[in-house]
Structure 1
Amino acid sequence: MADRISTYWMFSQPVSNMTRLQSQMNLTQQQLSTGLRILTPADDPVGAARVLQLDQDIALTEQYERNIILLDSRLTEEESTLDAINETLGRIRELTVQAGNAGVLTDEDRMAIAQEVEERFDELYDLMNAKDGAGEYLFAGFSGSSQPFVRNEAGGYSYEGDEGVRYLQVSSTITLPSSDSGKDIFMDIKSSETSFSTYANPLNQGNPIGRISAGLTVDQEALDAFYPHDVVITFENPLDIDPAEPNYTVRRKSDGRILEGMQNVPYVTGDEINVAGMSVRLTGAPSPGDQFVIETSSKQGLLTTAEKFLYTLESYPPGTGFDDVYDANIASTLSNLDNAIDRISQVQARIGARQNTTESVTNQHADSKLAAKDVRSKIRDVDWVEAVSRLQMESLTLQAAQQSFAQTSQLSLFNFIR
């Protein structure tokens, strides 16, 4: 029994030691091959927990950096588009000043100005419907997939976006707008004087469809006195008048009261409708029940300003008895263009402030990420000098154990029996 126990110990103990030494050497080799000291949480539970926290902090910082890249890209595109719009507005303002020199303006000059204004008008429309690199409209608010500014078939333009502003988080405490609402930039612009806009009921059934012009202010005092009421032009049954023919009635929108002298007025396409100091023109063949709305406002959208200027050039040329109306609307156009340019400049200033913030935050993220990676490296990464020395020691120890076992395993009492 004693010989059997002694032989078992002689083999099992060295083999166990060699297995342990081999395992230690394998671990050291794996650490050297990966460059990591902590390969599993069991290697250093406290260190592994700290490394996991640092990994999460670094990943969050990198997400913030990606948000900043996306934000900067969108802001750069918005700023570039606003620069182009400002340039176009500057040219329209130059044309407005030229149009104001009525004393030296010929009909050919006026028509040339009108033609370029129309081209610049289309250019503005395209720029205000610009898209970003992801194919979403820059100025549509939350409705990035919907075109914000729409040219209505019945005349005028409408804003189909919303007033939402998208935000991106760029740090744990800072969230910045990545967009600006087109309504805020291009629609809610303070007018130099009380103004108005026009639109048609989208349910109108005329064939050809009735259209309403942008209109023009012909009596500012009358408009100021009428403000803030709105006007609804409703087409009535042709049989309501004798002889039967298309006719319309003009009502105050707030209470439906018919304005004086504006009931069952015979309609002639292209004729002007003058009400409360406002002049608009209807064309087409509206059906009974069709409605057109004139809304008074202390604000005037950018497209409306350009549209009214074009309407002034085409409908109230100098020398036709409306010089006062022409001059007043040229002056109003200049003031409203200046207001629009100021609004865009304010938005550009906000964009610049955001870009300055992102630059500062980017530098902070770079510093914090570098510090976190340094701490993580000290905890997680292998000490090359120590690990190489340890591997050499473990290799020598294993070789010695193997050689020792090779010699002792050959010992037997039979070798000493004669």
Structure 2
Amino acid sequence: MRISTVTMFEQSTASMNRQQSDLMKVSQQIASGRRVVNPSDDPQAASRAVGVDQAKAVTEQFSDSRVSARNSLSQTESIINSVSDAITSAKGLLIQASSDTLTNENRESIASELKGVYETMLGQANSTDGNGRYLFGGYNDSVPPFAKDAAGNVQYKGDSNVREQRVDATRLMPVADNGETIFKSVPSGAGYVAEAKKENGELNEGNVTFRGPQINDVKNATDFRITFSSDVAFDIETFDGEGWNTVQTGVEYSGKDAAQQISVGGMSITLEGTPAADDEILVAKSGGDVRGADLFRTMEEAIRVLENPADDPVKKADQRNTLNTAMRDLDNSLDNVLTVRASAGARLNELDVIDAVGSNRMLNYDQTLSDLVDLDYTEAISEYSLRQIGMQASQKAFVDIKGLSLFNYM
């Protein structure tokens, strides 16, 4: 069979092109450090690598989300810590104000200091996260969550939701507690609180003071109120969850002469002083249906009685009763704030754990990607040297073949 000169040239050119293509492919691999430069190099590995890259991107997004969540929780914990310090300071001032050795002027001075603590709390309750969003307004975070109404009382303007953020594929984490949870709630184990005030909010007109209440039987403890029909008799009502029910009427009152202990169900309270008709003493579970919790209301009431001179028995009784109630309320509020703070700290610790898991997951993804597409340099360099030799051999063969001619032998 005769082989034409054109055929020899075409085969030699094709061989050199093939060798050059193989050499260039190995060169690209060495330059990029990747075994799979194009999907056609290893379609299966390339397909798996795309999936791993997507999983890495999602993991990185969750990592960024955890940074944001950590910033929010750290700020929340810091503010709540300041609030707990403010409550402790307020409680100390009320204990000081309860001393019988203080004058009205001394109490007015304490009231001025207590106002500063109150305004500090209000400012902390309206803190922002640095991006213009209010931390404690729930999802209604575009306006201050706490604002004073026309009467000067602080009202909550946020919602009852808790802002959440997804920090991992299976974890939706609360990143900020709402204002109700912090400033208008008490822990589930909060006790009972007594208050000397009428149902319509008016102050009592007599000078009855109370000590307690005490829980004698937890199972039978219940909300109740004492309403004086005269200065020597009173009625007792209990709350059943829907309304008040009279359980005793015309009970004799002897507290004008000596302290009288009154027991209702599993509760007891000690009264002393002279009442006026329609005066009331309420005993209710803190944060319950009858008497909701409100840290700002507690502070406002304490400031009120300290600012007004207690220059008669009625005002002195109001001052003593209000301070006793306020100190119990502050104890409950402090327990609640510390519980919320502990919850924020626990979530920060959880973020650290999720971060560690996420870091390990990223290492696994990196290792998987390396196994799929990264280059083995030792093998690649050997392959490169082999392709160079093949290319040189192909070129040398072409030079030798193209020089063949019958005219060289004639």
TM-score bucket (shorter structure)? 0.7 to 0.9
SS state at 1:167 partner? strand
Query: 2: distance between equivalents of 1:43 and 1:135?
Result: 51
The aligned residue for residue 256 of structure 2 is: none
Structure-2 separation of matches of 1:136 and 1:379: 45
- Cα distance in structure 2, aligned partners of 1:96 and 1:37: 75
Is the 2:139–2:159 Cα contact (8 Å) retained in structure 1?
Answer: yes
Among 204, 226, 244, the alignment partner of 1:221 is 226
Q: Which amino acid aligns with 1:147?
A: P
Give the whole-Å Cα distance in 1 for the aligned partners of 2:278 and 2:28.
89
| TM-score, length-scaled by structure 2 | 0.76
Structure 1 residue ranges without an equivalent (≥5): 198-213, 230-273, 279-295
User: Deviation at 1:321?
Assistant: 3.5
Q: What amino acid is aligned across from residue 342 of structure 2 in structure 1?
A: A
Of 366-375 and 215-224, more deviation after overlay is shown by 215-224
CA distance in 1 between counterparts of 2:195 and 2:22 reads: 86
TM-fit CA distance, 1:317: 2.4
Residue 310 of structure 1 aligns to a residue whose secondary structure is helix
8 Å contact from structure 2 (residues 185, 336) kept in 1: no
| 8 Å CA contact retained: 2:196, 2:318 | no
Greater displacement, 311-320 / 296-305 = 311-320
Q: 1:379 to 1:347 in 2, by over 3 A?
A: same
Residue 32 (structure 2) pairs with residue 34 (structure 1): yes
Work out which of the residue numbers 76, 81, 94 in structure 1 matches 2:92: 94
Match of 1:62 among 60, 63, 75: 60
Q: Summarize the Cα distance change of 1:196–1:69 in structure 2 as closer, same or farther, 3 Å threshold.
A: farther
Secondary structure, aligned partner of 1:153: coil
1:346 counterpart (332, 339, 361): 339
Aligned length: 339
Structural RMSD (CA):
2.9
Superposed, 1:8-47 pairs within 5 Å as: 8-47=6-45
Q: Match for 2:63: what amino acid? A: E
Deviation at 1:225, TM superposition (A): 5.4
Correspondence for 1:312 among 291, 305, 312 = 305
Q: What is the distance in 2 between the residues matched to 1:348 and 1:301?
A: 18
Note closer, same or farther for the CA distance 1:216–1:171 as it changes in structure 2 (3 Å cut). Answer: farther
What amino acid maps onto 1:16 in structure 2? A
Q: Deviations over 1:36-86 (max 9, x none)?
A: 111122111111121112112222222222122111111110000001111
Partner residue in 1 for 2:124: 127
The correspondence of residues 378-417 of structure 1 with structure 2, limited to 5 A, is: 378-417=371-410
Q: Quote the Cα distance in structure 2 between the aligned partners of 1:124 and 1:114.
A: 15
Query: 1:319 Cα shift?
Result: 4.5
Q: Deviations over 1:195-226 (max 9, x none)?
A: 799xxxxxxxxxxxxxxxx9767786349959
Aligned to 2:134, the other structure's residue is in SS state: coil
Q: Distance in 2 between matches of 1:10 and 1:196?
A: 115
After TM superposition, list the pairs within 5 Å mapping 1:209-358 onto structure 2.
221-222=226-227, 277=280, 297-315=290-308, 317=310, 319=312, 321-358=314-351
Within 5 A, what are the aligned runs for 1:131-170?
Answer: 131-170=128-167
SS in 1 for 2:370: helix
User: Secondary structure of 1:137's match?
Assistant: coil
Letter in 1 for 2:193: E
Q: Is the 8 A contact 2:134 2:144 kept in 1?
A: yes
Give the AA of the match of 2:337.
Answer: I
Q: Which residue of 2 aligns with 1:72?
A: 70
Partner SS for 2:151: coil
Match of 1:85 among 69, 83, 91: 83
Q: Given that residues 195 and 322 in structure 2 are in contact (C-alpha distance below 8 angstroms), is that contact kept between their aligned partners in structure 1?
A: no
Using a 3 Å threshold, how does the CA distance of structure 1 residues 215 and 169 change in structure 2: closer, same or farther? Answer: farther
The SS at the match of 1:178 is strand
- Seen in structure 2, the aligned counterparts of structure 1 residues 96 and 130 have a Cα distance that, compared at 3 Å, is same
Give per-residue Cα distances to partners, 1:171-196, cap 9 Å, x unaligned.
Answer: 22222111111112111336843779
Could you give the per-residue CA deviations for residues 3-40 of structure 1, whole angstroms, max 9, x where no partner exists? 7x611211111111111111111111111111111112
Larger RCO (CA within 8 A; separation ≥ 6): 2
1:102-132 CA distances to partner (integer Å, 9 max, x unpaired)? x201122111101111111111100011111
Q: Check the 8 A contact 1:191/1:336 in 2, yes or no.
A: no
Matched, 1:366 2:359: yes
Q: C-alpha distance in 2, partners of 1:94/1:298?
A: 24
1:298 match: secondary structure: coil
Out of 101, 105, 118, the position equivalent to 2:102 is: 105
